[in-house]
Structure 1
């Protein structure tokens, strides 16, 4: 009887995922919000961001379907903390809170599913190599991990565990590799060309569906190429920029079997603007729009993402700090 009920539950959940799976392009935007700058030995940074991600485009492969009956929204609050032990060695952490809603409208009836809770967290250790690739260049590398702080066992009112893409947490440890490069442009001293690369090696949640299954999100590769400049207006320094982002996610797996309607690749354009209110406080806004997407099977895919936040920087006295050799 137990095995039969487990089978029925799995069929029900797979049926939901076949039409509403969005875990490869929704969820908490961890990778988007990593990469605090190293402001020099003893510098400490706090960043608080709000991120809104709307998925209201149904794709089959690269084709957009004429179907607006499904919608996903993710609202995230992200707290970033960074500290530089030296001009080269620094650490960065990211803590998250997430609210997700899924709305399905069929035959005049609307079904809403909502989850809220603390999400997963990230710790990243970084090391910078200034001028290693020429004057006015900085190459940085980082390694880290995503810790499963968030719950991954939330259930519906009927007691049925929600699918993995609606959970605040993943229930698994992930490994992270990070690479960043920036170069000042000689023809315009205020301009910078930058690029970054992030690879997330996902772990397994072996407590999925009340310990009956093993779930693994697909590994993710993300690359960014951006240009930023600077101008002064009303005694305030503004930094406009534009970033092109490429993201590729492998298919999710359950019990070592690829899960249909997961995985794909996307290209986005992200205009952004930051304002340096004073030497310690900066405000940043970003708008992210899809240029191209190819999904495996049929999936909701991102329609619009907006991020806004503030970063506070200050120096810590170095008298009693550990001196890390450069």
Structure 2
């Protein structure tokens, strides 16, 4: 009985803060999966910086004229990928995250910041070439999210911060991933591609000093895009335009659905890759929301930018699948 009373008081007291939350405000794990298979025996290292700005307050799909709330997430993402054969590969993603939240009301400003190691991802992938005819590849992957990051950080007063501000989730998740691409016959340098990622979230059994169980909502993300290629200053450039759909279910605490969590988003993402050398690639992305529907009242993404470098080490002798 005391536990139920405590949780009820906690949820009531946090209601003003929960309206600031957003299930698009954390570490961008799904956005950064899908390293290419560069051939058997190849090792790819990638380092990316991701900036996510949330300064748009929505009720459903309606934007409110209110700029008193601001969320920023800065992430460093380390990708490691190894190809055992031309078809079988493994990929891992390690994260470091800095999150800030600013609430300015009635002449006062409340600022909260968290920094630390985030969760990691391990994904095993297998490629099926020519599923849609020549110059096409279907990739399937399965893996999980490993809860390396802390999920029990507190304020200076000793109050544990909300789950959406923690560097880690405190839960193991299951991940499924699929991508497909095909070169277009009328223009051999152009590629049409799509990908789907589904994250089935686990439960954090030690939330609020082991007094509650917290579960982020399951997440579905789908991308479809067009990329091309051109040569300029002896450098190969790959411009692309991606449309991204993301759906997140509502979070739960002790099987009780939390208000102001969950929603659907559509983004448009222009991106540009440059092959500085055959092994070194520079990539940049700009992600802009074109549609947002949130459950209740939430801060929702305003702008996202990422940039990074990847380097591929190849064996002199390529293994056959």
TM-score, normalisation: structure 1: 0.95
**Runs (5+) with no aligned partner, structure 2:** none
Superposed CA offset, 1:112-162 (max 9, x none): 000000000000000000002211110000000000000000000110000
> RMSD across aligned C-alpha pairs, in angstroms?
1.7
2:163 & 2:280 partners in 1: Cα distance? Answer: 37
- Cα contact 1:231–1:238 (8 A) shared by 2: yes
Q: Secondary structure at the match of 2:143?
A: strand
Residue 49, structure 1, aligned to residue 48, structure 2: yes
Alpha-carbon distance, 1:7 to partner? 4.6
1:5 & 1:114 partners in 2: Cα distance? Answer: 29
Equivalent in the alignment of 1:97: 96
Q: Secondary structure at the match of 2:290?
A: strand
Alpha-carbon distance, 1:107 to partner? 1.0
2:296 & 2:206 partners in 1: Cα distance? Answer: 26
- Cα contact 1:92–1:123 (8 A) shared by 2: yes
1:5 & 1:261 partners in 2: Cα distance? Answer: 21
Superposed CA offset, 1:150-182 (max 9, x none): 000000011000000000000000000000000
- Cα contact 1:57–1:302 (8 A) shared by 2: yes
Residue 241, structure 1, aligned to residue 225, structure 2: no
2:25 & 2:13 partners in 1: Cα distance? Answer: 18
Equivalent in the alignment of 2:20: 20
Superposed CA offset, 1:208-265 (max 9, x none): 0000000000000000001000000000000000000000000000000111000000
- Cα contact 1:54–1:304 (8 A) shared by 2: yes
Q: Secondary structure at the match of 1:15?
A: helix
- Cα contact 1:226–1:242 (8 A) shared by 2: yes
Equivalent in the alignment of 2:289: 290
Equivalent in the alignment of 1:36: 35
1:107 & 1:205 partners in 2: Cα distance? Answer: 35
2:126 & 2:79 partners in 1: Cα distance? Answer: 18
- Cα contact 2:3–2:211 (8 A) shared by 1: no
Alpha-carbon distance, 1:58 to partner? 0.2
1:3 & 1:44 partners in 2: Cα distance? Answer: 50
2:124 & 2:225 partners in 1: Cα distance? Answer: 23
Q: Secondary structure at the match of 2:14?
A: helix
- Cα contact 2:132–2:182 (8 A) shared by 1: no
Residue 208, structure 1, aligned to residue 201, structure 2: no
- Cα contact 1:17–1:261 (8 A) shared by 2: no
